[in-house]
């Protein structure tokens, strides 16, 4: 009998404390360490770096379970809705994070907007335009990029940054079928992108890699970029080590690539 009397009280306590903003998995939850002064990404948005900034900021908001406040998936509740105070706090927090990740001049241009979702859309509308022009610039930059005085590691890293931004602008097709079809078409497209990068990487290497490069081009299929990079890096180490005599290095690489 005593248990029957206590149970409604316990249930009432659970109902009172189980607020959305108190549940860590809920988007309305704010950790004690989160504050409006946080700078989530660096460098800040200056205009030309929009696509890399956009990707970094999106990942940062996703990691904090706050992406819904900018992509529109979390709707703005009415002011008499019980969740409105929690939404307002989170909206203000995300708003501050966005503003602090912008250059001063861009930040001034969005201060009249009230909600984080409006800032996100405004920035996208302003800076995602002209993608064809940016793609043509990047194609030329990638084509003209050479190793020169860079190490293989630094050359690969810098080229990969350029390439990743280009692919982001180009956007790899996504299968619209539900459920997704099992054909190889999209996998073949992604493989073609990877091969394009591998070829560009090899073509930009210095002339002392000419023999190795020619032998790798004879491989069918081309090794994936990680394997290819490992082979070229090993050759660089051998080339830079006077204690190691390079005898038919290309044949060695060809054997390793099989």
**Quick count: other Cβ atoms within 10 Å of Cβ 108?**
11
Tens of pLDDT, residue by residue over 93-104, are: 999 999 999 999
| pLDDT exceeds cutoff 90 at 123 | yes
Which of 46-55, 177-186, 194-203, 214-223 has the least mean pLDDT?
177-186
Residue-level pLDDT at 198 = 93
Please report how many Cα atoms fall inside a 13 Å half-sphere around the Cα of residue 1, on the Cβ side.
0
Answer whether residue 230 shows pLDDT above 80: yes
DSSP 8-state class, residue 64: T
Three-state DSSP class for residue 60:
helix
In contact, 94 and 118? CB cutoff 8 Å: no
Asked if 159 contacts 201 with a C-beta cutoff of 8 angstroms, the reply is: yes
Measured from the Cβ of residue 230, the count of other Cβ atoms closer than 10 Å reads 15
162-171, 179-188, 199-208 — most confident range = 199-208
Check the CA dihedral 49-51-54-58 and report its sign.
negative
Three-point CA angle 255, 256, 258, nearest 5° = 70
Query: Do 86 and 19 form a contact (C-beta atoms < 8 A)?
Result: yes
Non-local CB neighbours of 72 within 8 Å, separated by 6+ positions: 117
| 82 CA to centre of own chain | 35
Task: Tell me the pLDDT tens digit for each residue of 78-97.
Answer: 999 999 999 999 999 999 99
* pLDDT at res. 161: 87
Alpha-helix runs per DSSP H in 18-83: 50-63, 68-71
Q: What is the pLDDT of residue 148?
A: 94
- pLDDT for residue 249 is more than 50: no
Q: Burial code of 67-81, b = ≥16 C-beta within 10 A, e = fewer?
A: bbbbeeebeeeeeee
Q: Using an 8 Å Cβ cutoff, are 98 and 120 in contact?
A: yes
pLDDT value at residue 242? 59
pLDDT of residue 167: 82
Instruction: Give me the half-sphere count of Cα atoms (radius 13 Å) on the Cβ side of residue 58.
Output: 11
pLDDT band at 130 (very low <50, low <70, confident <90, very high): low
SS3 98: helix
Secondary structure of 229-245 in HEC code, one letter for each residue = HHHHHHHHHHHHCCCCC
Structure tokens at 148: 């020169």
């Amino acid at each position: 009998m005593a248990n029957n009397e206590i149970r409604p009280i316990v249930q009432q306590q659970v109902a009172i404390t189980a607020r959305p903003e108190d549940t860590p998995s809920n988007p309305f939850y704010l950790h004690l360490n989160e504050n409006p002064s946080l700078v989530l990404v660096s460098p800040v948005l200056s205009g030309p770096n929009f696509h890399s900034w956009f990707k970094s900021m999106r990942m940062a908001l996703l990691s904090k379970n706050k992406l819904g406040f900018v992509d529109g998936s979390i709707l703005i509740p009415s002011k008499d809705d019980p969740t409105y105070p929690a939404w307002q706090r989170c909206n203000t927090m995300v708003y501050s994070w966005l503003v602090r990740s912008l250059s001063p001049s861009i930040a001034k241009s969005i201060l009249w907007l009230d909600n984080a979702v409006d800032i996100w859309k405004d920035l996208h509308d302003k800076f995602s335009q002209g993608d064809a022009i940016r793609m043509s610039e990047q194609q030329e930059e990638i084509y003209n990029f050479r190793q020169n005085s860079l190490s293989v590691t630094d050359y690969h890293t810098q080229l990969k940054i350029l390439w990743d931004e280009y692919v982001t602008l180009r956007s790899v097709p996504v299968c619209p079928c539900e459920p997704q079809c099992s054909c190889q078409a999209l996998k073949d497209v992604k493989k073609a992108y990877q091969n394009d990068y591998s070829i560009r990487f090899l073509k930009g290497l210095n002339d002392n890699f000419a023999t190795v490069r020619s032998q790798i081009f004879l491989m069918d299929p081309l090794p994936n970029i990680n394997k290819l990079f490992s082979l070229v890096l090993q050759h660089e180490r051998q080339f830079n080590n006077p204690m190691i005599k390079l005898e038919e290095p290309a044949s060695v690489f060809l054997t390793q690539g099989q």
